[in-house]
Protein backbone atom coordinates (compact mmCIF):
# COMPACT_ATOMS: atom_id res chain seq x y z
CA UNK A 1 0.00 0.00 0.00
CA UNK A 2 2.81 2.41 0.88
CA UNK A 3 4.54 1.60 -2.40
CA UNK A 4 1.37 2.46 -4.35
CA UNK A 5 1.09 5.77 -2.49
CA UNK A 6 4.71 6.56 -3.32
CA UNK A 7 4.13 5.71 -7.00
CA UNK A 8 1.07 7.96 -7.12
CA UNK A 9 3.03 10.81 -5.53
CA UNK A 10 5.87 10.42 -8.03
CA UNK A 11 3.41 10.48 -10.93
CA UNK A 12 1.83 13.68 -9.61
CA UNK A 13 5.24 15.35 -9.19
CA UNK A 14 6.27 14.24 -12.68
CA UNK A 15 3.12 15.72 -14.24
CA UNK A 16 3.68 19.00 -12.37
CA UNK A 17 7.27 19.18 -13.57
CA UNK A 18 6.15 18.65 -17.15
CA UNK A 19 3.81 21.62 -16.80
CA UNK A 20 6.36 23.83 -15.06
CA UNK A 21 9.47 23.07 -17.14
CA UNK A 22 8.31 24.72 -20.40
CA UNK A 23 7.13 27.82 -18.54
CA UNK A 24 10.45 28.07 -16.71
CA UNK A 25 12.50 27.60 -19.86
CA UNK A 26 10.47 30.23 -21.67
CA UNK A 27 10.87 32.65 -18.77
CA UNK A 28 14.63 32.11 -18.84
CA UNK A 29 14.75 32.63 -22.59
CA UNK A 30 12.76 35.85 -22.17
CA UNK A 31 15.24 36.98 -19.54
CA UNK A 32 18.18 36.25 -21.83
CA UNK A 33 16.45 38.00 -24.71
CA UNK A 34 15.88 41.02 -22.48
CA UNK A 35 19.50 41.15 -21.42
CA UNK A 36 20.66 40.86 -25.03
CA UNK A 37 18.33 43.67 -25.93
CA UNK A 38 20.21 45.88 -23.50
CA UNK A 39 23.48 47.73 -24.15
CA UNK A 40 26.52 45.56 -24.67
CA UNK A 41 29.44 47.65 -23.57
CA UNK A 42 32.04 45.54 -25.35
CA UNK A 43 32.83 47.51 -28.46
CA UNK A 44 30.62 50.41 -27.33
CA UNK A 45 32.08 53.82 -27.91
CA UNK A 46 31.12 56.23 -25.17
CA UNK A 47 32.59 59.34 -26.72
CA UNK A 48 30.41 62.31 -25.98
CA UNK A 49 28.84 60.79 -22.85
CA UNK A 50 28.65 63.39 -20.13
CA UNK A 51 29.24 61.77 -16.77
CA UNK A 52 27.47 64.46 -14.81
CA UNK A 53 27.99 64.43 -11.10
CA UNK A 54 31.04 62.13 -11.28
CA UNK A 55 34.57 63.46 -11.38
CA UNK A 56 36.88 60.73 -12.65
CA UNK A 57 39.88 62.94 -13.00
CA UNK A 58 40.10 61.81 -16.64
CA UNK A 59 38.64 63.19 -19.82
CA UNK A 60 36.58 60.41 -21.47
CA UNK A 61 35.53 62.25 -24.60
CA UNK A 62 36.63 60.18 -27.56
CA UNK A 63 37.53 57.35 -25.21
CA UNK A 64 36.49 53.90 -26.54
CA UNK A 65 36.01 51.31 -23.80
CA UNK A 66 36.27 48.39 -26.20
CA UNK A 67 39.94 49.04 -26.89
CA UNK A 68 40.83 50.02 -23.35
CA UNK A 69 42.05 47.37 -20.96
CA UNK A 70 40.50 48.04 -17.56
CA UNK A 71 42.29 45.44 -15.48
CA UNK A 72 44.38 47.26 -12.91
CA UNK A 73 43.14 50.63 -14.12
CA UNK A 74 41.33 52.34 -11.24
CA UNK A 75 39.71 55.70 -11.93
CA UNK A 76 38.95 57.25 -8.63
CA UNK A 77 40.13 54.30 -6.53
CA UNK A 78 38.11 52.16 -4.15
CA UNK A 79 36.59 55.17 -2.50
CA UNK A 80 34.54 55.94 -5.62
CA UNK A 81 33.62 52.31 -6.24
CA UNK A 82 32.70 51.24 -2.75
CA UNK A 83 30.78 54.23 -1.47
CA UNK A 84 27.14 53.52 -0.69
CA UNK A 85 26.14 56.85 -2.17
CA UNK A 86 27.22 55.77 -5.65
CA UNK A 87 25.96 52.24 -5.27
CA UNK A 88 22.55 52.99 -3.83
CA UNK A 89 20.49 53.77 -6.89
CA UNK A 90 18.53 50.81 -8.21
CA UNK A 91 19.21 51.79 -11.77
CA UNK A 92 22.92 51.28 -11.06
CA UNK A 93 22.40 47.71 -9.90
CA UNK A 94 21.39 46.33 -13.28
CA UNK A 95 24.84 46.57 -14.85
CA UNK A 96 27.10 46.22 -11.81
CA UNK A 97 26.72 42.47 -11.61
CA UNK A 98 28.65 41.66 -14.79
CA UNK A 99 32.37 42.09 -14.45
CA UNK A 100 32.91 42.60 -18.15
CA UNK A 101 30.74 45.67 -18.36
CA UNK A 102 33.27 48.25 -17.14
CA UNK A 103 32.51 47.59 -13.51
CA UNK A 104 35.96 48.90 -12.42
CA UNK A 105 36.17 51.90 -14.71
CA UNK A 106 36.04 54.85 -12.39
CA UNK A 107 32.47 55.51 -11.36
CA UNK A 108 31.10 53.62 -14.36
CA UNK A 109 30.20 50.65 -12.14
CA UNK A 110 28.06 52.89 -9.95
CA UNK A 111 25.91 54.55 -12.57
CA UNK A 112 24.92 51.70 -14.93
CA UNK A 113 25.16 52.83 -18.53
CA UNK A 114 27.34 55.92 -17.93
CA UNK A 115 24.65 58.31 -16.76
CA UNK A 116 22.66 58.36 -19.99
CA UNK A 117 21.10 54.95 -19.20
CA UNK A 118 20.98 55.09 -15.43
CA UNK A 119 17.65 53.31 -15.04
CA UNK A 120 18.29 50.70 -17.72
CA UNK A 121 18.79 48.00 -15.09
CA UNK A 122 15.25 48.48 -13.80
CA UNK A 123 13.95 48.34 -17.36
CA UNK A 124 15.56 44.94 -17.87
CA UNK A 125 14.24 43.66 -14.57
CA UNK A 126 10.72 44.62 -15.66
CA UNK A 127 11.16 42.64 -18.87
CA UNK A 128 12.58 39.51 -17.27
CA UNK A 129 9.14 37.87 -16.85
CA UNK A 130 6.43 38.41 -19.43
CA UNK A 131 3.68 36.20 -18.01
CA UNK A 132 1.08 37.21 -20.57
CA UNK A 133 3.46 36.60 -23.45
CA UNK A 134 4.49 33.24 -22.01
CA UNK A 135 0.88 32.07 -21.67
CA UNK A 136 -0.12 33.25 -25.13
CA UNK A 137 3.00 31.59 -26.53
CA UNK A 138 1.92 28.22 -25.12
CA UNK A 139 -1.75 28.34 -26.17
CA UNK A 140 -1.02 29.65 -29.68
CA UNK A 141 -0.27 27.46 -32.68
CA UNK A 142 3.35 27.09 -33.79
CA UNK A 143 5.54 25.55 -36.46
CA UNK A 144 7.38 23.30 -34.02
CA UNK A 145 6.64 21.02 -31.08
CA UNK A 146 7.95 22.46 -27.83
CA UNK A 147 9.89 20.21 -25.48
CA UNK A 148 10.92 20.94 -21.88
CA UNK A 149 14.03 23.02 -21.16
CA UNK A 150 13.97 25.02 -24.39
CA UNK A 151 14.19 22.21 -26.96
CA UNK A 152 11.80 21.77 -29.89
CA UNK A 153 11.01 19.46 -32.82
CA UNK A 154 10.66 21.30 -36.18
CA UNK A 155 7.65 20.66 -38.42
CA UNK A 156 7.45 20.90 -42.22
CA UNK A 157 6.59 24.22 -43.83
CA UNK A 158 4.62 23.87 -47.07
CA UNK A 159 4.21 27.24 -48.78
CA UNK A 160 2.89 28.24 -52.18
CA UNK A 161 3.05 31.55 -54.00
CA UNK A 162 1.98 32.19 -57.61
CA UNK A 163 5.42 33.62 -58.41
CA UNK A 164 7.72 31.06 -56.73
CA UNK A 165 5.51 27.97 -56.72
CA UNK A 166 5.76 25.43 -53.90
CA UNK A 167 8.45 25.63 -51.23
CA UNK A 168 8.88 22.83 -48.69
CA UNK A 169 11.40 22.86 -45.85
CA UNK A 170 11.58 22.30 -42.10
CA UNK A 171 10.72 25.17 -39.78
CA UNK A 172 14.20 24.93 -38.22
CA UNK A 173 15.56 26.57 -41.39
CA UNK A 174 14.22 29.89 -40.09
CA UNK A 175 16.58 29.64 -37.08
CA UNK A 176 13.90 31.06 -34.75
CA UNK A 177 13.23 33.98 -37.08
CA UNK A 178 16.86 35.02 -37.58
CA UNK A 179 17.03 33.81 -41.20
CA UNK A 180 14.96 34.13 -44.36
CA UNK A 181 14.30 31.06 -46.50
CA UNK A 182 13.49 31.45 -50.20
CA UNK A 183 11.99 34.88 -49.59
CA UNK A 184 9.96 33.80 -46.54
CA UNK A 185 10.47 35.15 -43.00
CA UNK A 186 9.26 33.96 -39.59
CA UNK A 187 8.02 36.57 -37.12
CA UNK A 188 6.04 36.04 -33.90
CA UNK A 189 5.04 32.49 -34.81
CA UNK A 190 3.82 33.34 -38.30
CA UNK A 191 5.36 32.89 -41.73
CA UNK A 192 5.39 35.99 -43.92
CA UNK A 193 6.77 36.97 -47.29
CA UNK A 194 9.75 39.30 -47.05
CA UNK A 195 8.46 41.25 -50.08
CA UNK A 196 4.85 41.30 -48.83
CA UNK A 197 3.59 39.21 -51.78
CA UNK A 198 0.54 36.97 -51.45
CA UNK A 199 1.10 33.30 -50.64
CA UNK A 200 -0.74 30.25 -49.25
CA UNK A 201 0.39 28.39 -46.15
CA UNK A 202 -0.26 24.62 -46.07
CA UNK A 203 2.26 23.96 -43.31
CA UNK A 204 1.92 21.14 -40.79
CA UNK A 205 1.68 23.16 -37.59
CA UNK A 206 1.47 21.75 -34.08
CA UNK A 207 -2.35 21.85 -34.09
CA UNK A 208 -2.52 20.14 -37.49
CA UNK A 209 -0.08 17.47 -36.31
CA UNK A 210 -2.17 16.74 -33.20
CA UNK A 211 -5.35 16.65 -35.31
CA UNK A 212 -3.71 14.02 -37.49
CA UNK A 213 -2.90 12.03 -34.35
CA UNK A 214 -6.46 12.34 -33.04
CA UNK A 215 -7.80 11.29 -36.46
CA UNK A 216 -5.62 8.18 -36.45
CA UNK A 217 -6.72 7.44 -32.89
CA UNK A 218 -10.39 7.75 -33.89
CA UNK A 219 -9.85 5.43 -36.87
CA UNK A 220 -8.21 2.89 -34.58
CA UNK A 221 -11.11 3.12 -32.10
CA UNK A 222 -13.94 2.86 -34.62
CA UNK A 223 -12.35 0.28 -36.93
CA UNK A 224 -11.31 -1.82 -33.94
CA UNK A 225 -14.83 -1.69 -32.52
CA UNK A 226 -16.37 -2.60 -35.89
CA UNK A 227 -14.07 -5.61 -36.29
CA UNK A 228 -14.81 -6.68 -32.73
CA UNK A 229 -18.54 -6.64 -33.46
CA UNK A 230 -17.93 -8.84 -36.51
CA UNK A 231 -16.05 -11.42 -34.47
CA UNK A 232 -17.78 -11.22 -31.10
CA UNK A 233 -21.50 -11.98 -31.06
CA UNK A 234 -21.79 -11.98 -27.29
CA UNK A 235 -21.32 -9.30 -24.67
CA UNK A 236 -19.09 -6.33 -25.61
CA UNK A 237 -15.42 -6.74 -24.75
CA UNK A 238 -12.32 -4.57 -24.96
CA UNK A 239 -12.76 -1.49 -27.10
CA UNK A 240 -16.43 -2.43 -27.63
CA UNK A 241 -17.20 -1.87 -23.98
CA UNK A 242 -15.91 1.71 -24.28
CA UNK A 243 -17.42 2.70 -27.63
CA UNK A 244 -20.88 1.13 -27.25
CA UNK A 245 -22.05 3.15 -24.20
CA UNK A 246 -20.89 6.40 -25.85
CA UNK A 247 -22.57 5.47 -29.13
CA UNK A 248 -25.84 4.69 -27.36
CA UNK A 249 -25.59 7.93 -25.38
CA UNK A 250 -25.17 10.03 -28.54
CA UNK A 251 -27.96 8.13 -30.30
CA UNK A 252 -30.54 7.91 -27.51
CA UNK A 253 -29.89 11.12 -25.57
CA UNK A 254 -28.76 13.52 -28.31
CA UNK A 255 -29.80 12.48 -31.84
CA UNK A 256 -33.26 10.93 -31.33
CA UNK A 257 -34.75 13.60 -29.01
CA UNK A 258 -33.27 16.52 -30.99
CA UNK A 259 -33.65 15.44 -34.62
CA UNK A 260 -36.48 12.91 -34.57
CA UNK A 261 -37.11 10.16 -37.11
CA UNK A 262 -34.39 11.40 -39.49
CA UNK A 263 -31.64 11.05 -36.88
CA UNK A 264 -29.83 8.15 -38.63
CA UNK A 265 -28.79 10.41 -41.49
CA UNK A 266 -26.86 12.65 -39.10
CA UNK A 267 -25.45 10.07 -36.68
CA UNK A 268 -22.06 9.80 -38.46
CA UNK A 269 -21.53 13.57 -38.13
CA UNK A 270 -22.69 13.73 -34.51
CA UNK A 271 -20.49 10.79 -33.47
CA UNK A 272 -17.48 12.17 -35.34
CA UNK A 273 -17.77 15.70 -33.94
CA UNK A 274 -18.33 14.38 -30.40
CA UNK A 275 -15.26 12.12 -30.45
CA UNK A 276 -13.14 14.69 -32.31
CA UNK A 277 -13.78 17.44 -29.76
CA UNK A 278 -13.54 15.14 -26.75
CA UNK A 279 -10.30 13.44 -27.82
CA UNK A 280 -8.59 16.70 -28.79
CA UNK A 281 -9.66 18.29 -25.50
CA UNK A 282 -8.12 15.36 -23.61
CA UNK A 283 -4.92 15.44 -25.68
CA UNK A 284 -4.61 19.14 -24.92
CA UNK A 285 -4.48 18.36 -21.20
CA UNK A 286 -1.58 15.92 -21.52
CA UNK A 287 1.61 17.90 -20.73
CA UNK A 288 3.83 15.46 -22.62
CA UNK A 289 4.99 16.37 -26.16
CA UNK A 290 3.73 16.09 -28.84
CA UNK A 291 0.42 16.56 -26.99
CA UNK A 292 -0.66 19.64 -25.04
CA UNK A 293 -1.77 21.50 -28.18
CA UNK A 294 -4.71 23.89 -27.88
CA UNK A 295 -6.60 22.48 -30.89
CA UNK A 296 -10.21 23.25 -29.96
CA UNK A 297 -9.01 26.53 -28.42
CA UNK A 298 -8.07 27.64 -31.94
CA UNK A 299 -10.79 29.82 -33.47
CA UNK A 300 -10.08 28.43 -36.96
CA UNK A 301 -10.81 24.86 -35.82
CA UNK A 302 -14.05 25.75 -34.05
CA UNK A 303 -15.06 27.91 -37.04
CA UNK A 304 -14.58 24.92 -39.37
CA UNK A 305 -16.71 22.69 -37.13
CA UNK A 306 -19.43 25.35 -36.89
CA UNK A 307 -19.32 25.81 -40.68
CA UNK A 308 -19.99 22.09 -41.20
CA UNK A 309 -23.01 22.36 -38.90
CA UNK A 310 -24.19 25.42 -40.84
CA UNK A 311 -23.90 23.56 -44.16
CA UNK A 312 -25.90 20.62 -42.77
CA UNK A 313 -28.60 23.00 -41.53
CA UNK A 314 -28.91 24.83 -44.85
CA UNK A 315 -28.77 21.74 -47.08
CA UNK A 316 -31.10 19.66 -44.90
CA UNK A 317 -33.70 22.36 -44.22
CA UNK A 318 -37.19 21.79 -45.60
CA UNK A 319 -39.61 24.37 -46.98
CA UNK A 320 -41.32 24.77 -43.58
CA UNK A 321 -38.05 25.93 -42.06
CA UNK A 322 -37.51 28.59 -44.74
CA UNK A 323 -41.15 29.65 -44.49
CA UNK A 324 -40.79 30.21 -40.74
CA UNK A 325 -37.81 32.44 -41.46
CA UNK A 326 -39.08 34.55 -44.36
CA UNK A 327 -42.86 34.34 -43.76
CA UNK A 328 -43.56 33.51 -40.11
CA UNK A 329 -47.14 32.18 -39.81
CA UNK A 330 -49.58 33.76 -37.38
CA UNK A 331 -47.57 36.97 -36.94
CA UNK A 332 -49.13 40.44 -37.42
CA UNK A 333 -48.07 42.19 -40.60
CA UNK A 334 -46.42 45.11 -38.76
CA UNK A 335 -44.21 42.77 -36.74
CA UNK A 336 -43.20 40.51 -39.62
CA UNK A 337 -40.29 42.66 -40.97
CA UNK A 338 -38.67 42.73 -37.53
CA UNK A 339 -39.20 39.02 -36.95
CA UNK A 340 -37.93 38.12 -40.43
CA UNK A 341 -34.72 40.08 -39.75
CA UNK A 342 -34.25 38.36 -36.39
CA UNK A 343 -34.89 34.89 -37.84
CA UNK A 344 -32.53 35.53 -40.73
CA UNK A 345 -29.76 36.74 -38.41
CA UNK A 346 -30.31 33.70 -36.15
CA UNK A 347 -29.38 31.52 -39.11
CA UNK A 348 -25.81 32.84 -38.74
CA UNK A 349 -25.83 33.51 -35.01
CA UNK A 350 -26.37 29.82 -34.20
CA UNK A 351 -23.12 28.55 -35.79
CA UNK A 352 -21.29 31.64 -34.50
CA UNK A 353 -22.41 30.75 -30.97
CA UNK A 354 -21.12 27.20 -31.46
CA UNK A 355 -17.77 28.53 -32.64
CA UNK A 356 -17.24 31.08 -29.87
CA UNK A 357 -18.54 28.91 -27.00
CA UNK A 358 -16.12 26.04 -27.67
CA UNK A 359 -13.18 28.33 -28.42
CA UNK A 360 -13.67 30.52 -25.33
CA UNK A 361 -14.23 27.70 -22.83
CA UNK A 362 -11.22 25.60 -23.89
CA UNK A 363 -8.90 28.61 -24.17
CA UNK A 364 -9.98 29.85 -20.74
CA UNK A 365 -9.17 26.48 -19.19
CA UNK A 366 -5.64 26.48 -20.63
CA UNK A 367 -5.04 30.08 -19.54
CA UNK A 368 -6.16 29.35 -15.96
CA UNK A 369 -3.83 26.35 -15.60
CA UNK A 370 -0.85 28.23 -17.08
CA UNK A 371 -1.61 31.26 -14.91
CA UNK A 372 -1.49 29.10 -11.82
CA UNK A 373 1.88 27.71 -12.85
CA UNK A 374 3.14 31.24 -13.51
CA UNK A 375 2.28 32.29 -9.95
CA UNK A 376 5.16 30.14 -8.73
CA UNK A 377 7.68 31.99 -10.88
CA UNK A 378 6.14 35.39 -10.17
CA UNK A 379 6.57 34.78 -6.44
CA UNK A 380 10.15 33.62 -6.96
CA UNK A 381 10.90 36.60 -9.19
CA UNK A 382 9.48 39.17 -6.79
CA UNK A 383 11.05 37.63 -3.69
CA UNK A 384 13.40 34.64 -3.90
CA UNK A 385 13.50 30.94 -4.76
CA UNK A 386 12.37 29.91 -1.29
CA UNK A 387 9.19 31.98 -1.57
CA UNK A 388 8.58 30.56 -5.04
CA UNK A 389 8.92 27.02 -3.69
CA UNK A 390 6.61 27.85 -0.80
CA UNK A 391 3.96 29.19 -3.16
CA UNK A 392 4.16 25.96 -5.18
CA UNK A 393 2.86 24.07 -2.15
CA UNK A 394 -0.38 26.04 -2.51
CA UNK A 395 -0.47 26.41 -6.28
CA UNK A 396 0.24 22.81 -7.35
CA UNK A 397 -2.71 21.20 -5.49
CA UNK A 398 -5.08 23.82 -6.90
CA UNK A 399 -3.59 23.31 -10.37
CA UNK A 400 -4.22 19.55 -10.09
CA UNK A 401 -7.80 20.28 -9.06
CA UNK A 402 -8.23 22.50 -12.12
CA UNK A 403 -6.79 19.73 -14.28
CA UNK A 404 -9.38 17.30 -12.94
CA UNK A 405 -12.07 19.90 -13.57
CA UNK A 406 -10.80 20.30 -17.13
CA UNK A 407 -11.25 16.56 -17.67
CA UNK A 408 -14.94 17.09 -16.98
CA UNK A 409 -15.04 20.25 -19.13
CA UNK A 410 -13.44 18.32 -22.02
CA UNK A 411 -16.41 15.93 -22.16
CA UNK A 412 -18.94 18.65 -21.34
CA UNK A 413 -17.90 20.88 -24.25
CA UNK A 414 -18.02 17.93 -26.64
CA UNK A 415 -21.55 17.18 -25.40
CA UNK A 416 -22.70 20.82 -25.62
CA UNK A 417 -21.40 21.29 -29.18
CA UNK A 418 -22.94 17.99 -30.31
CA UNK A 419 -26.36 18.50 -28.74
CA UNK A 420 -26.65 22.11 -29.97
CA UNK A 421 -25.71 20.98 -33.47
CA UNK A 422 -28.37 18.29 -33.25
CA UNK A 423 -30.97 20.79 -32.01
CA UNK A 424 -30.21 23.25 -34.84
CA UNK A 425 -30.35 20.46 -37.43
CA UNK A 426 -33.57 19.15 -35.89
CA UNK A 427 -35.21 22.57 -36.21
CA UNK A 428 -34.31 22.62 -39.92
CA UNK A 429 -35.58 19.11 -40.80
CA UNK A 430 -38.65 19.06 -38.55
CA UNK A 431 -42.02 18.69 -40.30
CA UNK A 432 -44.60 21.24 -39.17
CA UNK A 433 -48.36 20.73 -39.16
CA UNK A 434 -50.12 24.01 -39.93
CA UNK A 435 -53.70 24.46 -38.77
CA UNK A 436 -56.30 26.98 -39.80
CA UNK A 437 -55.56 29.10 -36.73
CA UNK A 438 -52.06 29.68 -37.97
The pTM for the full model equals 0.68
pLDDT in tens, 307-359: 999 999 999 999 989 988 998 888 888 888 999 999 999 999 999 999 999 99
Instruction: Give the sheet arrangement for strand 165-170, strand by strand.
Output: 165-170, 156-161, 200-201
Residue 74 has pLDDT above 80, yes or no: no
Q: Rounded mean pLDDT of 5-33? A: 42
Rounded Cα distance, 401 and 382, in Å: 26
Which residues, other chains included, contact 25 with Cβ-Cβ below 8 Å and sequence gap of 6+? 148, 149, 150
- Please tell me the predicted confidence (pLDDT) of residue 416: 96
Stronger pLDDT, 213 or 163, i.e. the higher one: 213
Around Cβ 143, how many Cβ atoms within 10 Å?
Answer: 22
Looking at the chain, the whole-number percentage of residues with pLDDT higher than 90 is: 36
**375 and 28 in contact (C-beta within 8 Å)?**
no
pLDDT at 270 exceeding the cut of 90: yes
Q: How confident is the model at residue 118 (pLDDT cuts 50, 70, 90)?
A: very low
Q: What is the mean pLDDT of residues 134-145?
A: 84
Amino acid sequence: MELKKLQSLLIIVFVCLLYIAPVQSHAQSSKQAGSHAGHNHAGHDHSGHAHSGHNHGHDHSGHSHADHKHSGHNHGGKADRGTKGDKGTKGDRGDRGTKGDHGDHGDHGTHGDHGAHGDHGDHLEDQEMDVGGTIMHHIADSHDIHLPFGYSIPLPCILYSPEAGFNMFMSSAFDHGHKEVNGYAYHHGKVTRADGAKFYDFSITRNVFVMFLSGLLMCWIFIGAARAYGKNKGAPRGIQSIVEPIYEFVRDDIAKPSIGPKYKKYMPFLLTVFFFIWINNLLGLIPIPPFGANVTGNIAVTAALALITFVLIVTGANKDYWMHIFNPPGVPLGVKPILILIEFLSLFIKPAALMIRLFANITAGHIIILSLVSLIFIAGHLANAAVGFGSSLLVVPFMLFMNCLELFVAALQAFVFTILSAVFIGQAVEEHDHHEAH
